[in-house]
Amino acid sequence: MASRTKIIAIIGAGPAGLIAAQKLSKIENLQIHVFDQKPSVARKFLIAGRGGLNLTHSEPLPKFTEKYEENAARFAQFLARFSPDDMINWATSLGVSLFKGSSGRMFPDGLKATPLLRAWLKELEGAQVQFHLKHRWLKTEADQKLLFSTPDTPSFEFEADAILYAMGGASYPHLGATGSWIDPLKSEGLDIDPLVASNCGFQVNWSDHFIGRFEGTPLKNIRLTHNNRSSAGDLVVTKNGLEGGALYALSKGLREELQQGSTRDISLDLKPGSEEQALVSSLSTPRGKMSLSNFLRKKLNLAPIQIALLHEFKNNTDIQNTDKLAALIKNLPVELIGINGIERAISSAGGVKFSNLDDQLMIRKQPGQFVAGEMLDWEAPTGGYLLQGCFATGVVAADGIATYLNAA
Ligand SMILES: Cc1cc2nc3c(=O)[nH]c(=O)nc-3n(C[C@H](O)[C@H](O)[C@H](O)COP(=O)(O)OP(=O)(O)OC[C@H]3O[C@@H](n4cnc5c(N)ncnc54)[C@H](O)[C@@H]3O)c2cc1C
């Protein structure tokens, strides 16, 4: 006798929800319904395309998994189920090849998300995945009865045999992920860590003179150090501080310390390619009538913003002394006074704690209900680790749903 068709509800049409839908759509006798509160799907994935869509990273897996810090062992298992190679094969299967950027990051040819998303949606629609947009999940009642509000009704009910929650974190909330799931899931007894900014900007108390001249200016090829951890890359000066990849990589430690209440110094190396002694030698040549700024520009190829930073953070005596100046160029302390809001962060930390879930990402107290993607309590730096983590957890949860329904 043919078995009954089982109904799966996936809440959240971001990358975690969509990859789960794709995986499950290959299994017979499953009817897959994807719900999202927005009028279109995967808005954050599309915005990620503006930065080239860094889908994954090419480094060896042990180094890759380290990026998930205290969750490294857990993510080693998730990535064994959907690895960076699987990500490459997945994109290729949709007609989009990936290439390796100079930093080892992997991007789609054309550096855009739209062609990939278009092919992905075509595949999902071809596999009969049904989309229900403008459906805002409110709560789940007994017997997997889901309640949504829609533009037509404040209370639309839907019954499912299995549920995947994939509603994202709370950064860039205008794109759909707002963290509105926290209260309903908390009231179901789930242990949830507050969502906080990750891969975010930090605040600096710039002088009016400096910010008037340099707001929006990039600070290229610097090295940034905090507590023996350092990261190289670029930063951008913002009205109230600094943003950019080099800072995102250290954002977890900085956030945790700033949350304790005090300010934190980071150290900028403005010439990471030069030894301090070499700088002293260059700076020791006579400068004649040249101004210090001109001298620094000509001798060390420092950009105006780098020279202005030296003036911003140190007094004239330090700058006039060759040894002290060289030391400052290699180690310029910049005081961070706060964290920028989650609404402008690339991702969020916090969320549904893994202790609520089994190895298949099923909520222990609510069999048949699973969680994936940024809703889960993990964080990773930019570099492709976020999307890779969302895809991998989406795949693990999809396999978990298949196993659960088979056994049910
Ligand atoms: C500017 C920017 C650039 C980025 N670039 C990269 C990058 O290059 N590489 C990388 O790895 N990562 C990048 N990221 C991070 C990455 O996009 C996210 O980590 C990822 O999209 C999270 O996927 P998700 O499926 O968990 O959640 P989301 O993509 O946030 O999707 C969640 C979905 O759930 C829906 N939803 C939420 N609440 C409800 C509700 N109550 N009812 C119904 N639907 C709901 C939302 O509308 C949304 O569509 C970037 C993020 C930003 C903001």
Give 238's strand partners. 241
Tokens of 390: 């969302």
CB 36 within 8 A of CB 191: no
Give the pocket of ligand 1 (CB within 6 Å): 11-17, 35-38, 43-45, 47-48, 51, 53-54, 136-137, 166-168, 171-172, 176-178, 180-181, 346-347, 373-374, 384, 386-387, 390
- DSSP state for residue 249 in the 8-state scheme: T
Structural domain includes residue 1: no
Show the domain range for 46. 6-198+347-407
> Where does a domain end: 314, 339, 364?
339
- If one counts every other C-beta atom within 10 angstroms of the C-beta of residue 319, the result is 17
- DSSP state for residue 394 in the 8-state scheme: H
The structure's pTM equals: 0.95
**Which H/E stretch holds residue 237?**
strand 229-238
Residue type, 117: L
Residue type, 185: L
Q: Is the dihedral of CA 51, 53, 58, 64 positive or negative?
A: positive
Query: What does DSSP say about strands 30-35 and 130-132: parallel, antiparallel, or unpaired?
Result: parallel
Q: Best mutation site among 34, 44, 185 for ligand 1, i.e. most ligand atoms within 8 A of its Cβ?
A: 44
> Where does a domain end: 299, 318, 339?
339
- Cβ within 8 Å of residue 198, ≥6 positions away: 171, 251, 252, 255, 345, 346, 347, 348, 349, 379
- Pick from 123, 122, 117: nearest CA to 55: 117
Overall number of domains in the chain: 2
- Which CATH number does the domain housing residue 149 bear? 3.50.50.60
Q: How many residues does the chain have?
A: 408
- Pick from 138, 216, 125, 221: nearest CA to 184: 138
* pLDDT by 10s per residue, the chain, length 408: 457 899 999 999 999 999 999 999 999 999 999 999 999 999 999 999 998 999 999 999 999 999 999 999 999 999 999 999 999 999 999 999 999 998 899 999 999 999 999 999 999 999 999 999 999 999 999 999 999 999 999 999 999 999 999 999 999 999 999 999 999 999 999 999 999 999 999 999 999 999 999 999 999 999 999 988 999 999 999 999 999 999 998 999 999 999 887 778 899 999 999 999 999 999 999 888 889 899 999 999 999 999 999 999 877 777 889 999 999 999 999 999 999 999 999 999 999 999 999 999 999 999 999 999 999 999 999 999 999 999 999 999 999 999 999 976
Structural domain includes residue 193: yes
Is the same domain home to 21 and 125?
Answer: yes
